[in-house]
Structure 1
């Protein structure tokens, strides 16, 4: 179970993963060693799964962000596994979810341009034998960046 200090530590690390044990200790009114041990425990217990840098897609030449809904024609375990392997192999697909409702999958994609998105959809996704239909939406503007999880 998380206590209030754990919750505060997790919230702080989501905003800035570079915080030192000294800085965390000051925020939590703990010694740096206590704060460091808490962080290590939360990592070991799986609350903290890793640390990463947030990159600017536009600066990397990824000017098209989109969401692609994928509908499968057949829903057996082999089709699902095959489609999951395809998704994992495509770096343009940055997130993928299985869904309830009309679409079977929702993919978040970043591409250099519309031609690259077209290639992803028509050259990679649609030719997969399990895929029957895709529907894409292009992001015009992102109103809110991926935010920290509520703690």
Structure 2
């Protein structure tokens, strides 16, 4: 789907506030309600808009610390990668996970409550995942930018 400038304005507005009513969105992008609604539907159907979500404050939820973890697997066959990936996706502490190139196989972002919470996550969960071999961790000191998607 080729995006025109109106589509891009719609996407920027929804990226900033996914709860905008269609009337307010239409007003902000300079359309009447029906054409705006049709464009949003087309963007959803084309998969440009994948969904809508609430952003939760991890500190308010008792998980103030973010840790970035590089994980190395013992083997790299399809079954090991699949089993590890599925098990990883089921862990509630995992905010994001990527299969990556390089020395390590996965890059994982987790939300935990301090070093005790992190140790518990490592020992009771991560180390027990199928295929796990080694990890290296980095505690985030402060978040400088947080976006839920790319800028259109």
TM-score relative to the length of structure 2: 0.93
Quickly say closer, same or farther: Cα 1:145–1:129, change in 2 above 3 A: closer
Whether the aligned pair in 1 keeps the contact of 2:88 and 2:129 (CA below 8 Å) is no
Give 4+ residue runs of structure 1 displaced > 6 Å after superposition: none
Whether the aligned pair in 1 keeps the contact of 2:73 and 2:131 (CA below 8 Å) is yes
Task: Report what 1:56 is aligned to.
Answer: 57
Per the TM alignment, residue 146 of structure 1 is displaced from its structure 2 partner at its CA by 2.4
Give the secondary-structure state (helix, strand or coil) at the position aligned to 1:126: helix
Flag structure 2 segments of 5+ consecutive residues without an equivalent: none
Per the TM alignment, residue 28 of structure 1 is displaced from its structure 2 partner at its CA by 2.2
Task: Report what 1:13 is aligned to.
Answer: 14
Per the TM alignment, residue 147 of structure 1 is displaced from its structure 2 partner at its CA by 5.4
Task: Report what 1:141 is aligned to.
Answer: 142
Quickly say closer, same or farther: Cα 1:88–1:37, change in 2 above 3 A: same
Per the TM alignment, residue 139 of structure 1 is displaced from its structure 2 partner at its CA by 0.9
Per the TM alignment, residue 11 of structure 1 is displaced from its structure 2 partner at its CA by 0.8
Q: What RMSD in Å do the two structures reach over aligned CA positions?
A: 1.3
Distance 2:143 2:35 in 1: 39
Residue 71 of structure 2 corresponds to residue 70 of structure 1: yes
Per the TM alignment, residue 27 of structure 1 is displaced from its structure 2 partner at its CA by 2.1
Per the TM alignment, residue 122 of structure 1 is displaced from its structure 2 partner at its CA by 2.3
Task: Report what 1:112 is aligned to.
Answer: 113
Distance 2:149 2:91 in 1: 25
Flag structure 1 segments of 5+ consecutive residues without an equivalent: none
